[in-house]
Amino acid sequence: MSNVRNTLTLSLSLSLQYDVASLHSSVLISCPSMVRGQQDTPRLHGNSMEGQAPPPQPTQPRKKRPEDFRFGKILGEGSFSTVVLAKEHSTGKEYAIKILEKRHIMKENKAQYVKRERDIMSHLDHPFFVKLYFTFQDEEKLYFGLSYAKNGELLKYIRKIGSFDETCTRFYSAEIVCALEYLHKKGIIHRDLKPENILLSEEMHIQITDFGTAKQLSSDSKQGKNEYLIFQKIIKLEYEFPEKFFPKAKDLVEQLLSLDPCKRIGCEEMGGYGPLKSHPFFETVGWDDIHLQTPPKLTAYLPAMSEDDEDCYGNYDDLLSQFSCMQVAQPGHAPLVPFTGETSQPTYNPSPSVDQFIHIHELDSNCMELDLQYSEEEKRILLDKQGAANPWHQFVENNLILKMGPVDKRKGLFARRRQLLLTEGPHLYYVDPVNKVLKGEIPWSPELRPEAKNFKTFFVHTPNRTYYLMDPSGNADKWCKKIQEVWRKIYHKHQSPSL
């Protein structure tokens, strides 16, 4: 998939009424319910008496103005627009208002894209699409009032969770299929459907947006003709399925990614949407009222890495609150260590030699844990010893390593072996142990939370992502305790984490 753009592109309304050479008269919003036409001079009809008032004329709605709203936080920024949350003073209703500068639209020749979205959005009336409510303008800007999808982009949840479990995957795939079926019946193809263009409503149903590059098929297009296929040229089917990939989902993906466009399930040549919706992967879907169903809670799926392990499901009841609470352990899982922020006293011999101190928790050359009570002089000696003898010292920017060991780091359904290095700073580095390359760092912040799911699996929650890690030695709880211990040492003096 191409690089994603961090933008919420919402639909809008614009038409060109005058000569494009005139800046302020060239771009005019066109919306029948909002644009006030010129009123004819009132006329008297019949045998009306001189001076008699003409019959009352129907009043047209007043066009909205910027001062009708209280503008709040920025929801997204595009190449020539900004989307802002706004509340209407008179009604208290919230809208996502897209603001565009007329000068920039004309300079970048974007009028056709804006008009295209207006034309297409004016034909959409479906719960799985962002809705255009009104348009207005001032001297310099255009404003487009759209439905506010309170839970933002689907992309952020994919990044946060990684792999959805089968129930979540089926539900949201089904909603997307329903939306596309409606769209295609109207002769519209989106051409830029991706996770950041799929928003989530307050109830966690999808709302598709960004129709700037969409296409309205001509009325004389032959049925079944592939007038536009963005993926028409799939040169090579270079992809692979991880182990324990859902078998029915695997079959569906294989049928969708056929090299021949006319053999892809869901296309007209293959019978349209009927066979797609009847695929075994969707056999439990209630298609008729899916928009009224309660969406499943977002849950991560972490398949077992060996026959001796069990599949792990991460429940995300508190995902929307950025993991402000630690999760309750599930039956059969190792109990979680409460992350209370209270100071605990680690096991420590008050008067060991430095040599004894460094080796007290050392298991082998790749696994080591260091107690946190040491003096500055002891730290200097430990760093000297680490720099001279520890092969992982080169990756930690001369920070003292507090705990290290091999873990399997998951991304999606794939897992790769990494050397995890917890250091002062604090830092959590992870290194490719084969190629001896630093692959990245888990970002620290007061919001960082470790969580043990079972003996092997533990999560490190950060505001923007959850890292899934597996300790092959079965000591996930020790990683969580050490990370908590370091957290308390750094942040406890300043704040206590709210649970």
Residues catalogued as catalytic: 192
439 is in an annotated binding site: no
List phi, psi (to 5°) of 445: -165, 170
Which positions ≥6 away from 284 have C-beta within 8 Å?
Answer: 170
320 in Cβ contact with 152 (< 8 Å): no
For residue 411, give the H/E element and its range.
Answer: strand 401-411
List phi, psi (to 5°) of 138: -130, -160
For residue 84, give the H/E element and its range.
Answer: strand 82-88
For residue 41, the Cα-to-chain-centroid distance in whole angstroms is 55
246 in Cβ contact with 279 (< 8 Å): no
Which positions ≥6 away from 322 have C-beta within 8 Å?
Answer: 447, 463
Which positions ≥6 away from 10 have C-beta within 8 Å?
Answer: 83, 96, 98, 130, 144, 146, 209, 210
Q: What is the DSSP letter of 226?
A: -
Question: Tokens in use for 485?
Answer: 């211990």
Question: Tokens in use for 493?
Answer: 């003096």
Which positions ≥6 away from 287 have C-beta within 8 Å?
Answer: 174, 178, 277
232 in Cβ contact with 226 (< 8 Å): yes
The CA distance from 141 to 103, in Å, is 8
The CA distance from 179 to 312, in Å, is 31
Feature table: binding site: 98
Feature table: binding site for ATP: 98
